[in-house]
Amino acid sequence: MNFLKVCVVIANYNHSKFLDVSIESIIKQSYNNLDIVVVDDGSHDQQEVDKIIQNFSDDKRLRCIKFKQNTGKWNALNHAISTTDAVVCTSHDADDISLDWRIEAQLTTLLQTKTIHNLCGFHSCWNEKEVEEKLKNKEKPQSYRVLNSEDVTKLVLTGFDKPGINHYFTGSFETAGVSSMFYKRIWDLGFRYNPPNQGLRTLLSEDSDFNFRVTAGLRSTSILLEAPYLYRRNTSTNKEEI
Whether residue 16 has pLDDT greater than 70: yes
Count structural domains, the chain.
1
> Do 5 and 88 touch, CB atoms closer than 8 A?
yes
- 180-230 per-position pLDDT tens digit: 999 999 999 999 999 876 655 555 578 888 999 999 999 999 999 999 999
Q: What is the CB neighbour count within 10 angstroms for residue 51?
A: 12
Query: Tell me, what's the pLDDT at 152?
Result: 96
Q: Which domain holds residue 88?
A: 6-241
Query: Tell me, what's the pLDDT at 240?
Result: 38
Average confidence (pLDDT) over 154-171: 80
Average confidence (pLDDT) over 154-179: 84
CATH of the domain at 143: 3.90.550.10
In-domain check, residue 236: yes
- 41-71 per-position pLDDT tens digit: 999 999 999 999 999 999 999 999 999 999 9
- Count CA atoms closer than 13 A to 37's CA, side-chain side: 25
In-domain check, residue 95: yes
- 83-127 per-position pLDDT tens digit: 999 999 999 999 999 999 999 999 999 999 999 999 999 999 999
Report which residue type is found at 76. Answer: A
- 118-138 per-position pLDDT tens digit: 999 999 999 999 999 999 888
Sheet of 146-147: strand order equals: 62-67, 34-41, 6-12, 88-91, 181-183, 117-120, 221-224, 146-147
In-domain check, residue 69: yes
Query: Tell me, what's the pLDDT at 239?
Result: 38
Query: Tell me, what's the pLDDT at 199?
Result: 57
In-domain check, residue 36: yes
In-domain check, residue 55: yes
Query: Tell me, what's the pLDDT at 115?
Result: 98
In-domain check, residue 44: yes
In-domain check, residue 216: yes
CA distance 112 to 37: 26
In-domain check, residue 1: no
- 222-242 per-position pLDDT tens digit: 999 999 999 998 886 443 333
- 3-12 per-position pLDDT tens digit: 899 999 999 9
Chain-centre distance of CA 136, in angstroms?
Answer: 22
Q: What is the CB neighbour count within 10 angstroms for residue 172?
A: 5
Chain-centre distance of CA 164, in angstroms?
Answer: 24
